[in-house]
Structure 1
Amino acid sequence: MFTSNFGSAAKLFLVLAGSFQLLPTTNQSPINLPAVANATSPYYTAGVVEFSSSNSLEDNLVGFLELISSADAESTDIIVFPESTLNNIDTATYVPDPDLQLNTSACLLGNTSIYSDFLVQLSCSARQARKYLVINLTERENCSTTALDPRPCASNGLNIYNTNVVFDREGRVISRYRKWNLYGEPKNTTATVELSIFETDFGVRFGQFTCFDILFYEPTQTLVDLGIRDLVYPTMWFSQLPFLTAVQVQQSWSYINDVNFLAAGANRPAVGSTGTGIYAGREGALVSVMNTGSGVRQLYVAQVPKLGQTQNGLQVTREHKSTTPALQQAPRLSQADIFLKRDYMEEYNTMEVNHNSSVIMLWYSLCYKKFCCSFTLWPYHVNSAPLAADEEHYVYRVGVFEGRRYETGAETTNALRTCAVFACTGPNITDCGTLFAANVTQKRHIGFTRIMIEADFPTVNQSLLMPNSLRDDLLPLDVNEFEWDESQNEDGTRHVRYVSNTNTTNLLTFAIYGNYYDDLGWNEEETTTTAVPTTEPGAGDGVGTLVKPFMLMWILAGLLSVVLK
């Protein structure tokens, strides 16, 4: 039952009256409106929603229905809503099982069914608007102990799930996915992981998963292994510096898997939740946003090229439509703009980057146990003017890590091998992975014309190596601003080369982020780590003890050219 004030109830009535008539009978005729895309179209039109929820189911439902029926949504074939922004455990609903009730439309059953009224209304909204809808909600299911799931039931006899529900254009539930990797959620999981795939009338097969799932092999990478090239992703992400802010992860994952990715994020920057986008694999972001502030309920729309059908002269549009004016982002974000969690940077082996203004090129070799990374940086000072007494700027460290990633509140975790350049607000490792305080005057002081990271990674069946970058507006480098190369070494390891080919003055992170899902191939023995800085002659602070042969040849060639002049 709805419990909010009369004003919200009146608003809800107006929305429903203006969009559809709820019928309790089963003889409602199909609504014949033309589909925007079909099986032969080279693209489909997708919408993703960033949504700031309230504690009122009624108010949230009003917001969902308004977006679905809005003019900006008119051209869309599919709309994805974010995680945990509709209802909660107190208002959990039964959901039709698409395997057993494929032709069931809650809209046609009306309020005579076991399904909650808000599920019925969303079914009718999908039917009226003729769109596929992906809705994340809290689901209830009657629990029973079976041979396939012998786990005991709760005292109330219910299972509670974090569930994605997919409605087709007739309002039927055609797919359902129950989140597998929970993040501090008092909810149930299924006995085994669900691999949820659904077909559309515009010729695209979608897979789906939710939020924290993206860091794990099941079901995320299994869907990709099965050949799914388009995925929907409701999320309420809690962004973390320096590697795991929302859009940073979304674009990186879409890029390395070369899949279309529709990510819809909850909006609550005060707890670090924002981040929404539509990504076209190696083509990069079609639209992506990290909204600061509060109260955003916004639809972003893009034409998504069907993978394998982009050779017919189709231009990938990077523009988007929105239901509200786009928020203006602060050029340099501070702690007051958004709350960001911090990774355990103290676990990394790191070295501070030389910030001497006379340095032209730097090279570092840094190891964690026997896992080593090579860093080549071309730094420069943005301007030569000295900083004022109240001005601060980011400094940088290179770092290497191999081991388990620990996350407070997570029931499961993942293992990493990471090579990284990251920004710090001061000279100590405790200053890394943070933004400046709101009362600090920030100045862009250090830039890089180029960064190159290279490393050899063990090859195991369940691993994913990703390009990982972040600017100080909390968006990653565009895909045309970096180069990513992988090759096989004779010993079976994978050599990765990650290069930024753009001038950056606002960099927070540039890293190879290796996710090792199965924990295999670790270097358990302790070894002495090495850190060898090398600067070009004339740097004014000495030359490192180890110089790469190619670098030595470059130096000698330069000296020879001077002698011959």
Structure 2
Amino acid sequence: MRSRQPVQPSRGPRSWCFQKMVFMGLTSLGHPSLVTWKPFPTLRRRAGIRARSRKDTTTLRFTIIYLDFVMARKLYSHNISLCLNLIIFDYVCDSKVLQRLSCMARRNNLYLVANMPDLQPCPLKTSPSSTCPPDGRWQFNTNVAFRSDGLLVARYHKHNLYFEASCDTPPEPEIITFDTPFAGKFGLFICFDILFHDPTVLLVQRGVRQLIFPTAWMNQLPLLDSIQFQQAFSLGANVTLLAVNIRNDRLIMTGSGIYTPFSATYHHARKGDPEEGRLLVARVPVLEPPEVEAGGGESTISVATDSGYCYQDNCDDPPPPSYPTFISSMMYDTFTFVLLNETQGDVKVCNGTFCCRLQYRWLLQDHKELYAVGAFAGIHTVNGRYALQVCAVVRCGGLDQSSCGQEVEEAESKMDFLLEGNFETKYVYPSILTSRLVLEQPESLQKAPDGRVTIKHSNTKGGLVTACLYGRMYHLDNE
């Protein structure tokens, strides 16, 4: 079994993320209005700060309330910078948004990625199977990427929509990357895409180790808070993730970060905090393509922990005894739970044939909060359809077992633990979330060829809210 904790290189490019408030729920998009330009003075100031300190990559979300025509193919093939050219092949480019983004990248010598709408013409067809909308145009949720000289180098259309009535799904998933001289290749995807195989897993399978992820993520505890799953994906996929969320307290949207497999720089506002943008800066290493990583494939080793517990099948202790189970809903899914009522224990819980094991020890024996370990295997069907296998330790909302699985943000109880699941997928994303929405990095993440995935953690700094192994069974999504 090989630990997924790479050695951190000493140097790497700097990356930064900036989140802004945006207008939501707009299905009728017309001519630009004055409000469109509000973010740009702030963004230009932020870009200037980054340029003076010689930083490299920018990701941002900002207010755009109209559709624009991103002429990606012509711009790519003719190396045209929108900052220097407003008339392109007899087409008057009236997009001041694209022009300003291009100029921001050029004037500050930055690579820049932004999320915005895109309007593309669609030839009407008489075929009943045509994907062309009746009005003859596609409207896409889009990422655009600009080179440091202002050249538009990439355009990605979101594939997995989430209640986006004004947007269309592109006819085929787009696998979009762009190259940089300082960190190699970056991949683009958007929001709900992160939960699905295409295009996200395809990017990783093709060796892309740096991913850029604008999102409008609605936080949902205890398993899918924004920063929680952003870090989980970075750890599970072994990639660097630049994630930038919008800020909308009414829709519970907040949380951005810069994540590597061994570090996290993030900001998660809470209700009542000032609604202003936050600049995040981090030095991130350049991750090598998988084929040149040291270590080769995964292996199995026997590991004993400092807390006195050890890995399954490598211990002299007998299998854990059976504990009473109960059913409770978590994230709209029916989990099987076991309460953690002892000062320490070795607990196994199964949902059907899928089983999770928790070895734990409370740091304080007089803790007054209720916790449970749960397992779920099945198809999630609320606000999306996707297949899961999940092991999770959660703080319950109250002192009754029926409250296990409810949303909780604060906790006082701390434990050393080892959480393990026997998964039928290699796509497992681990997370540890503590009180007041603070992330902690697992001491170790290990994957074995037989499907066992384990996270170990001790000396928790904050009260434990959730520890989770979130497995995605992509191959079962359509069953």
State the TM-score, normalized to the length of structure 1.
0.68
What code does the residue aligned with 2:447 have? E
- The residue number in structure 2 matching 1:207 is 187
Are 1:110 and 2:82 an aligned pair? no
- The residue number in structure 2 matching 1:48 is 17
- The residue number in structure 2 matching 1:509 is 466
What code does the residue aligned with 2:102 have? S
After superposition, the Cα gap between the structure-2 partners of 1:464 and 1:423, relative to the gap in structure 1 and judged at 3 Å, is: same
Give deviations 1:242-266, integer Å, cap 9, x for gaps.
Answer: 1111111111111122212111111
Structure 1 residue 469 displacement after superposition? 1.7
Match of 1:498 among 435, 450, 455: 455
Aligned counterparts of 2:344 and 2:74: Cα–Cα separation in 1: 60
What code does the residue aligned with 1:377 have? Y
Aligned counterparts of 2:153 and 2:469: Cα–Cα separation in 1: 38
Aligned counterparts of 1:86 and 1:398: Cα–Cα separation in 2: 41
Aligned counterparts of 1:406 and 1:101: Cα–Cα separation in 2: 40
Give deviations 1:348-378, integer Å, cap 9, x for gaps.
Answer: 1112221xxxx43222221111112222221
Runs of 4+ in structure 1 off by over 4 angstroms are: 71-74, 145-150
Q: Would the aligned equivalents of 1:196 and 1:208 in 2 still touch at CA under 8 Å? A: yes
The correspondence of residues 46-445 of structure 1 with structure 2, limited to 5 A, is 46-53=15-22, 56-70=35-49, 74-82=53-61, 85-88=62-65, 91-98=66-73, 101-102=76-77, 103-110=79-86, 113-145=92-124, 151-186=130-165, 187-281=167-261, 283-285=262-264, 287-292=265-270, 293-308=273-288, 343-344=330-331, 347-354=334-341, 359-381=342-364, 394-408=369-383, 410=384, 413-426=385-398, 427-430=400-403, 432-435=405-408, 444=412
Q: Would the aligned equivalents of 2:117 and 2:139 in 1 still touch at CA under 8 Å? A: yes
Give deviations 1:511-549, integer Å, cap 9, x for gaps.
Answer: 221111111899xxxxxxxxxxxxxxxxxxxxxxxxxxx
The CA RMSD over aligned residues, in Å, is 2.8
Aligned counterparts of 1:78 and 1:250: Cα–Cα separation in 2: 18
Q: Would the aligned equivalents of 1:268 and 1:294 in 2 still touch at CA under 8 Å? A: no
What code does the residue aligned with 1:177 have? Y
Aligned counterparts of 1:150 and 1:105: Cα–Cα separation in 2: 38
Give deviations 1:246-287, integer Å, cap 9, x for gaps.
Answer: 111111111122212111111223322111111222x221x1
Aligned counterparts of 1:228 and 1:107: Cα–Cα separation in 2: 29
After superposition, the Cα gap between the structure-2 partners of 1:245 and 1:101, relative to the gap in structure 1 and judged at 3 Å, is: same
Structure 1 residue 484 displacement after superposition? 1.8
What code does the residue aligned with 2:269 have? N
Q: Would the aligned equivalents of 2:20 and 2:63 in 1 still touch at CA under 8 Å? A: no
Q: Would the aligned equivalents of 1:52 and 1:294 in 2 still touch at CA under 8 Å? A: no
Are 1:483 and 2:444 an aligned pair? yes
Structure 1 residue 152 displacement after superposition? 4.8
- State the secondary structure of the residue aligned to 1:163: strand
Structure 1 residue 304 displacement after superposition? 1.5
Q: Would the aligned equivalents of 2:411 and 2:464 in 1 still touch at CA under 8 Å? A: no
After superposition, the Cα gap between the structure-2 partners of 1:261 and 1:470, relative to the gap in structure 1 and judged at 3 Å, is: same
Moved more, 125-134 or 269-278: 269-278
Structure 1 residue 99 displacement after superposition? 6.5
- The residue number in structure 1 matching 2:27 is none
Q: Would the aligned equivalents of 2:21 and 2:63 in 1 still touch at CA under 8 Å? A: no
What code does the residue aligned with 2:39 have? N
The correspondence of residues 519-558 of structure 1 with structure 2, limited to 5 A, is 519=476
For structure 1, the residue ranges without an aligned partner over 5 or more in a row are: 1-40, 310-341, 385-392, 437-441, 523-565
Aligned counterparts of 1:290 and 1:57: Cα–Cα separation in 2: 25
Aligned counterparts of 1:512 and 1:203: Cα–Cα separation in 2: 30
- The residue number in structure 2 matching 1:471 is 434
Q: Would the aligned equivalents of 2:333 and 2:376 in 1 still touch at CA under 8 Å? A: no
After superposition, the Cα gap between the structure-2 partners of 1:500 and 1:99, relative to the gap in structure 1 and judged at 3 Å, is: farther
Aligned counterparts of 1:78 and 1:352: Cα–Cα separation in 2: 46
How many residues align? The count is 413
- State the secondary structure of the residue aligned to 1:66: helix
- The residue number in structure 2 matching 1:559 is none
- The residue number in structure 1 matching 2:418 is 452
Q: Return the structure number with greater relative CO, CA threshold 8 A, min gap 6.
A: 2
Structure 1 residue 227 displacement after superposition? 0.6
Structure 1 residue 54 displacement after superposition? 5.5
What code does the residue aligned with 1:488 have? P
Give deviations 1:444-494, integer Å, cap 9, x for gaps.
Answer: 3x331x1122232225xxx51121221122132124xx32222123xxxx1
Aligned counterparts of 1:202 and 1:113: Cα–Cα separation in 2: 34
Structure 1 residue 174 displacement after superposition? 0.5
What code does the residue aligned with 1:400 have? A
Bigger Cα Rg: 1
Structure 1 residue 406 displacement after superposition? 2.5
- State the secondary structure of the residue aligned to 1:381: coil
- State the secondary structure of the residue aligned to 1:107: coil
Structure 1 residue 219 displacement after superposition? 0.5
Moved more, 417-426 or 293-302: 293-302
After superposition, the Cα gap between the structure-2 partners of 1:404 and 1:43, relative to the gap in structure 1 and judged at 3 Å, is: same
Q: Would the aligned equivalents of 1:138 and 1:160 in 2 still touch at CA under 8 Å? A: yes
What code does the residue aligned with 1:86 have? T
Structure 1 residue 173 displacement after superposition? 0.8
Give deviations 1:197-236, integer Å, cap 9, x for gaps.
Answer: 1011325111111111111111101111001111111111
Structure 1 residue 74 displacement after superposition? 4.2
- State the secondary structure of the residue aligned to 1:256: helix
State the TM-score, normalized to the length of structure 2.
0.79
Aligned counterparts of 1:420 and 1:443: Cα–Cα separation in 2: 16
After superposition, the Cα gap between the structure-2 partners of 1:163 and 1:501, relative to the gap in structure 1 and judged at 3 Å, is: same
- State the secondary structure of the residue aligned to 2:85: helix
Structure 1 residue 403 displacement after superposition? 0.6
- State the secondary structure of the residue aligned to 2:420: strand
Aligned counterparts of 2:386 and 2:478: Cα–Cα separation in 1: 14
Q: Would the aligned equivalents of 2:132 and 2:138 in 1 still touch at CA under 8 Å? A: yes
- State the secondary structure of the residue aligned to 2:72: coil
Paired-residue identity, %: 27
| Higher helix content, 1 or 2 | 1
